[in-house]
Amino acid sequence: DAKTTQPNSMESNEEEPVHLPCNHSTISGTDYIHWYRQLPSQGPEYVIHGLTSNVNNRMASLAIAEDRKSSTLILHRATLRDAAVYYCPVDSGGSNYKLTFGKGTLLTVNP
């Protein structure tokens, strides 16, 4: 399974963009990169996923490095509701549909 490395915590101001990094240097060619976030005392929530190309949805953008060894989740305008722990699991490929979650990044958004 591909391992991921993220900063333990990051801080941002409301209304400003946030770039959350993730390193996945052992990723294989067919592994998808996923992002989830978790609010306190709740289950994680899917944010976005991608393979090679950058991806956009209503929640965020995902920028994937050309060598795929790292990715960045971009929140274009942080709000207080974006304060959460952000995870970037990489799927293990094959047919077992498994994601391996690391410890994630705790994002604090200041008003």
Partner 1 sequence: SQTIHQWPATLVQPVGSPLSLECTVEGTSNPNLYWYRQAAGRGLQLLFYSVGIGQISSEVPQNLSASRPQDRQFILSSKKLLLSDSGFYLCAWSRGTSARTYEQYFGPGTRLTVT
Please report, as ranges, the residues that interact with partner 1 according to CB under 8 A.
30, 32, 34, 36, 41-46, 49, 51, 87, 91, 95-104
48 or 78: CB nearest partner 1: 48
Smallest separation (angstroms) from partner 1 to the CB of 98: 6
Task: Give strand pairing partners of 34.
Answer: 49
Smallest separation (angstroms) from partner 1 to the CB of 14: 26
Smallest separation (angstroms) from partner 1 to the CB of 91: 5
Name the token pair of 109. 């958004």
**Using CA atoms in the order 2, 17, 41, 97, what is the torsion angle rounded to 10 degrees?**
-30
User: In terms of Cα–Cα distance, which of 12, 14, 10, 6 is closest to 70?
Assistant: 6
